[in-house]
Amino acid sequence: MTERTINIMHAEPSGPELLDMAICGGTVVTATDTVRCDVGIKDGKVTVLERGLERRAAKTIRADGKLVLPGGIDAHCHLDQQSPTGLRHADDFYSGTRSAAGGGTTTIIPFANQKKGEPLRAAVEAYQARARGRAVVDYAFHMIVSDPNEQVIGQELPSLIREGYTSFKVFMTYDALRLSDRQMLDLLSLSNRERALLMVHAENHDCIEWLTDALKNAGNTEPRFHAVAHSAIAESEATYRAISLAEVAGASVMIVHVSSGRALEEIERAQRRGLRVFAETCPQYLVLTADHLDCCGFEGAKFVCSPPPRKGEDQEALWGGLDRGALQIFSSDHAPYRYDGPTGKKAGGDRVSFDRIVNGVPGLETRLPLLFSRGVQGGRIDLQQFVALTATNPARLYGLYPRKGTIAVGSDADIAIWDPDLDVTITHDRLHDAMDYTPYEGMTVRGWPVVTISRGEIVAEDGEVSTDAGRGLFLLEDRIPGAKTERFAGRLESRKNPLQ
């Protein structure tokens, strides 16, 4: 973006009521309303929503013709983590949160990943140390539990949940991470008792292994076979099993990164039966297909993630799931492994078999523009749904609402001002992450956030991110155990949410 799109003016201070900032002339959108009003900000909070605030603020941002939306919450992203085979992410908490800010996201919830044999608290403390002094927007943590031993189940997890780490992810695949059904039952029962939320990576491990062996025995090793080995049937079977285990344990469950129509069918069947099943999808499953893995020899590795991008018909099914409210959350699953270099897709060389390519695609900065363009501008979802999926529902599900996820008096002034008509061609050089590619290179989107405000401070403007490392706050104290009961009481925002 070369043109200055927002006009900032400074007023003379005029008395005790002076606001720090006013966003004037824009259209404010929340998960329930679209209103023409100004937004007044004082001490990092929204303090007034009414027209005519221009003269009451030390600084005014003109937002005529723009949309004033809650800053995005990316409730599933990975920063400064190591892969199960020891490869390190390109993004740390500085580059990752800069990238978030550039794309209109003002809160992230990445993962503190427990290695087998490691105390869970040590994992949490290690990730706290990685974020401290680095993050430029606010953050909380989910935990990844890979070793639910007696100490973890009996002491560490209950006490961490009570401290405010109220969500954790488990895996049904990957040798270094996967849990047995019995272990999942223990954790689901614990999450129910402690009022936390368990998130599941649902893929059938043995099915993937069996297909992988069969493919390799037949000499099929190119990146495109990753999408064959990680079959949609393996995903839907594990999704059904995770839901069944949650039902046995009487717990809520969140199925993350749903990629296929088949898995979505299992989720909706459970929701129709009244089970507390929540679900997330991500840009790669709406915008990419398995054909991308077959684009160009080993470069198909750039699109290798699990579950993989699937078919056009799966994309259609997921759009329907977003519209119906069956999928409540839209996250990036940003997992930033470079293409080149010793810690990326080519770490094993550019001839390795698909099962040795590190899994994950980046997407923190492109998440919101892709959904806005394909979803809102494409006529598949409306603005309220966009805000619910990208900000309000993640805040409600993970206990950050109403401080985060909406624009209301008393909420943090986390705001993205969007130019809905700005055409942007995505190229990696305009993004702020530390990657060497974007899977969306060359795609054009309509709509991009032109100003991102975090707690009343402009952190990104017209494509430039300018903010200090370490200004991002850790949000532990805001995370309310049992946020799930609120959401099941029917407060998730969705026009057609079957849970309401």
Interface residues with ligand URP (CB under 6 A)?
Answer: 78, 201, 257, 305-306, 333, 335, 359-360
What is the rounded distance in angstroms from the CA atom of residue 398 to the CA atom of residue 282? Answer: 17
CA 486 to chain centre: 21
Regarding 62 and contact with Zn ion (CB under 5 A), the answer is: no
Cα dihedral across residues 360, 366, 372, 375: positive or negative = negative
Please, which residue, 257 or 338, has the CB nearer to Zn ion? 257
Please, which residue, 95 or 467, has the CB nearer to ligand URP? 95
Measure the CA angle with vertex 124, ends 397 and 452; round to 5°. Answer: 55
Give me the least distance between CB of 126 and Zn ion, in Å please: 18
Q: Give the interface size with Zn ion as a residue count (CB under 5 A).
A: 2
Cβ-closest residue to Zn ion? Answer: 201
Give me the least distance between CB of 174 and Zn ion, in Å please: 8
Question: How far, in Å, are 27, 236, 477 from residue 41 at the CA level?
Answer: 16, 46, 22
Please, which residue, 53 or 370, has the CB nearer to ligand URP? 370
Give me the least distance between CB of 363 and Zn ion, in Å please: 11
Give me the least distance between CB of 89 and Zn ion, in Å please: 11
> Could you tell me which stretch among 62-70, 330-338, 416-424, 450-458 binds Zn ion (CB under 5 A)?
330-338
Please, which residue, 6 or 267, has the CB nearer to ligand URP? 267
Question: How far, in Å, are 19, 165, 258, 373 from residue 110 at the CA level?
Answer: 33, 12, 18, 25
Cα dihedral across residues 278, 282, 286, 290: positive or negative = negative
Partner that binds at residue 338, options Zn ion, ligand URP, none, CB closer than 5 to 8 Å by kind: none
Please, which residue, 165 or 448, has the CB nearer to Zn ion? 165
124, HSE (Cβ side, Cα atoms, 13 Å): 22
Partner that binds at residue 360, options Zn ion, ligand URP, none, CB closer than 5 to 8 Å by kind: ligand URP
Please, which residue, 335 or 388, has the CB nearer to ligand URP? 335
Partner that binds at residue 305, options Zn ion, ligand URP, none, CB closer than 5 to 8 Å by kind: ligand URP
Of 316, 334, 326, 310, nearest to 385 by C-alpha is 326
Give me the least distance between CB of 335 and Zn ion, in Å please: 6
Partner that binds at residue 414, options Zn ion, ligand URP, none, CB closer than 5 to 8 Å by kind: none
Give me the least distance between CB of 256 and Zn ion, in Å please: 6
Partner that binds at residue 31, options Zn ion, ligand URP, none, CB closer than 5 to 8 Å by kind: none
| The 3-state secondary structure of 357-401, one letter per residue | CCCCECCCCCHHHHHHHHHHHCCCCCHHHHHHHHHHHHHHHCCCC
Cis peptide before 307 (omega within 30 of 0): yes
Partner that binds at residue 345, options Zn ion, ligand URP, none, CB closer than 5 to 8 Å by kind: none
Of 112, 8, 164, nearest to 480 by C-alpha is 164
Give me the least distance between CB of 10 and Zn ion, in Å please: 43
What is the rounded distance in angstroms from the CA atom of residue 330 to the CA atom of residue 104? Answer: 14
Regarding 333 and contact with Zn ion (CB under 5 A), the answer is: yes
Under a CB-based contact definition with an 8 Å cutoff, are residues 84 and 359 in contact?
A: no
Under a CB-based contact definition with an 8 Å cutoff, are residues 331 and 74 in contact?
A: yes
Please, which residue, 46 or 187, has the CB nearer to ligand URP? 187
Please, which residue, 5 or 99, has the CB nearer to Zn ion? 99
Q: Which of 56, 66, 142, 201 binds Zn ion (CB under 5 A)?
A: 201
Give me the least distance between CB of 221 and ligand URP, in Å please: 19
Read out DSSP for 253-276? EEE-S---HHHHHHHHHHHHTT--
Give me the least distance between CB of 333 and ligand URP, in Å please: 5
Radius of gyration of the chain (CA): 22
Q: What residues line the site for Zn ion (CB under 5 A)?
A: 201, 333
